[in-house]
């Protein structure tokens, strides 16, 4: 008997494109088989067409165009794939740069032996969430002292353009990975491997190239996977790159039982991409023209970045502040889910202080004696009291000069200024630009050094001597 022709899949959704509006295609479904939400659709006429079901009505559905819209035309046949979008995962992706679809972007050829997983997953149930009370040391004095990071926590670097968010993010990648490879994992498991996942959401193409170069030169890249959805790509792609990166982090945590450092640059572009897609769909906007589903979209992503018994995901998230307006609804929505909000100030940067952390607007949920320890808590509390007085005295100094302060206030003013200067630091990532060798300072050393300054033993040393040094001992000030 001759071979019978293959029978078509009767459960496969089928339809035709009736219109294309920007990055949204309207599809009329033929028959009763509707695809699931988030299911990938393609065309038998052009396998390069990739659509994702976004919403649907009784007779038609709206799909986000993930491939080039130039491939589409009215009347084009569309079929369902029966699956949502999947991303390659595993040790094979380490050291590689890829896009949303797992295609390599580093000119190093295809990625072999791939296992794939869905970019969508539900947040783990509460009974498997395992919070830790370990400090994740960064080697950056200002962060370790003012806003210490908890293993498995969520940290945000919040600031406008050009204040150093990306530099700070890459410095953290370098420092934590550096300590790991040297056999010291401060705040991380001593037995589990540690991997890094970087999501570039809406980044400039130049920034992606510079990041890859920095990580290659610093030796961090072999334990890192980079997923990019750059600003020249459509909003639907940019909106899903963050979810694809989260899926990578979940695989390392759950399947390889490892600790994961998750970096995203940046969360505001994620919110912005969601707003663009919502506008194309014609949904009614909410506060400040953002999509009404913004808080849900943020929470869906953030709830997946948690520590479990298998391992932890500690996330570091850059948050761009449009026009330096920190009360922007998109910024405040992201800040509401963070454990540490580290605000970077343009006015502080203009004074030559880096990292330019705003000491008054930054906050952390870890500032308790039980978490920090007695010495750190005492030094931080004492500094915060001095800082309040310093802020008041600064207004007087700006008008009449420091000489008009009382002798006691002058001592306290200069003592606070010395600590602020001490918290500056040369970075490994900027050695070529500044000509200064990067410094990693152990947290206990930072706490002890600030305790020495608070004690008054260094009152005779000018405040300028404390700028851009490592520890006081290395600078030969004690």
- Taking CB atoms within 8 Å and a gap of at least 24, the contacts of 55-61 are 55/281, 59/28, 59/29, 60/15, 60/18, 60/26, 60/27, 60/28, 60/29, 61/15, 61/26, 61/27, 61/29, 61/34, 61/35
Q: Is 439 a catalytic residue?
A: no
The residue annotated as part of the active site, out of 108, 115, 204, 473, is 204
The residue annotated as part of the active site, out of 52, 137, 171, 203, is 203
Pairwise CA distance, residues 222 & 278, whole Å: 37
Q: Among 86, 96, 84, 102, which Cα is nearest to 41's?
A: 84
- Taking CB atoms within 8 Å and a gap of at least 24, the contacts of 209-214 are 211/166, 211/170, 212/97, 212/106, 214/170, 214/429
Q: Is 204 a catalytic residue?
A: yes
Do you know the residue count of the chain? 478
Q: For residues 282-308, b (16+ Cβ closer than 10 Å) or e, as one string? A: eeeeeeeebbeebbebbeebbebbbbb
Pairwise CA distance, residues 368 & 359, whole Å: 17
Q: Is 45 a catalytic residue?
A: no
Cβ burial, residue 328 (10 Å; 0-12/13-18/19+)? buried
Pairwise CA distance, residues 24 & 51, whole Å: 9
- At 154, list the tokens: 């969520």
The residue annotated as part of the active site, out of 141, 151, 154, 165, is 165
In this structure, the strands spanning 115-118 and 194-201 are unpaired
Pairwise CA distance, residues 281 & 275, whole Å: 10
Residues annotated catalytic, as ranges: 165, 203-204
């Amino acid at each position: 008997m001759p071979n019978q022709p293959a029978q078509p899949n009767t459960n496969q959704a089928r339809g035709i494109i009736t219109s294309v509006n920007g990055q949204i295609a309207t599809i009329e479904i033929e028959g009763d088989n509707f695809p699931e939400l988030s299911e990938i659709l393609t065309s038998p006429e052009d396998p390069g067409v990739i659509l994702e079901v976004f919403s649907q009505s009784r007779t038609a559905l709206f799909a986000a165009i993930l491939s080039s819209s130039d491939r589409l035309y009215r009347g084009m046949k569309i079929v369902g794939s029966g699956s949502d979008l999947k991303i390659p995962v595993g040790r094979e992706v380490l050291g590689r740069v890829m896009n949303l679809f797992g295609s390599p972007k580093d000119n190093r050829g295809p990625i072999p032996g791939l296992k794939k997983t869905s970019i969508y997953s539900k947040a783990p149930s509460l009974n498997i969430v395992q919070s830790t009370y370990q400090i994740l040391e960064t080697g950056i004095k200002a962060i370790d002292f003012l806003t210490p990071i908890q293993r498995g926590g969520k940290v945000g670097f919040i600031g406008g353009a050009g204040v150093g968010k990306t530099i700070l993010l890459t410095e953290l990648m370098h420092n934590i990975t550096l300590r790991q490879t040297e056999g010291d994992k401060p705040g991380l498991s001593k037995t589990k491997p540690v991997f890094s996942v970087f999501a570039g959401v809406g980044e400039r193409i130049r920034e992606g190239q510079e990041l890859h170069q920095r990580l290659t030169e610093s030796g961090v890249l072999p334990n890192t996977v980079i997923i990019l959805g750059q600003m020249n790509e459509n909003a639907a792609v940019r909106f899903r790159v963050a979810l694809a990166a989260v899926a990578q982090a979940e695989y390392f945590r759950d399947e390889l039982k490892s600790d994961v450092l998750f970096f995203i640059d940046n969360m505001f572009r994620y919110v912005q991409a969601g707003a663009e897609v919502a506008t194309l769909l014609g949904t009614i906007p909410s506060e400040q023209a953002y999509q009404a589903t913004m808080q849900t979209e943020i929470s869906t992503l953030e709830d997946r970045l948690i520590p479990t018994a298998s391992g932890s995901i500690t996330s570091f998230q850059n948050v761009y502040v449009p026009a330096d307006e920190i009360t922007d609804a998109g910024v405040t929505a992201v800040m509401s889910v963070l454990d540490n909000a580290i605000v970077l100030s343009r006015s502080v940067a203009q004074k030559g202080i880096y990292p330019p952390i705003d000491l008054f607007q930054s906050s952390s949920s870890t500032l308790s004696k039980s978490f920090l320890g007695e010495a750190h808590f005492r030094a931080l509390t004492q500094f915060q009291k001095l800082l309040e007085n310093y802020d008041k005295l600064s207004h007087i100094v700006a008008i009449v000069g420091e000489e008009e302060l009382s002798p006691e206030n002058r001592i306290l003013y200069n003592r606070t200024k010395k600590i602020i200067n001490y918290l500056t630091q040369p970075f490994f990532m900027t050695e070529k630009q500044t000509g200064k060798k990067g410094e990693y300072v152990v947290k206990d050393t930072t706490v002890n050094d600030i305790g020495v300054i608070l004690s008054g033993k260094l009152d005779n040393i000018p405040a300028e001597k404390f700028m851009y040094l490592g520890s006081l001992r290395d600078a030969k000030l004690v």
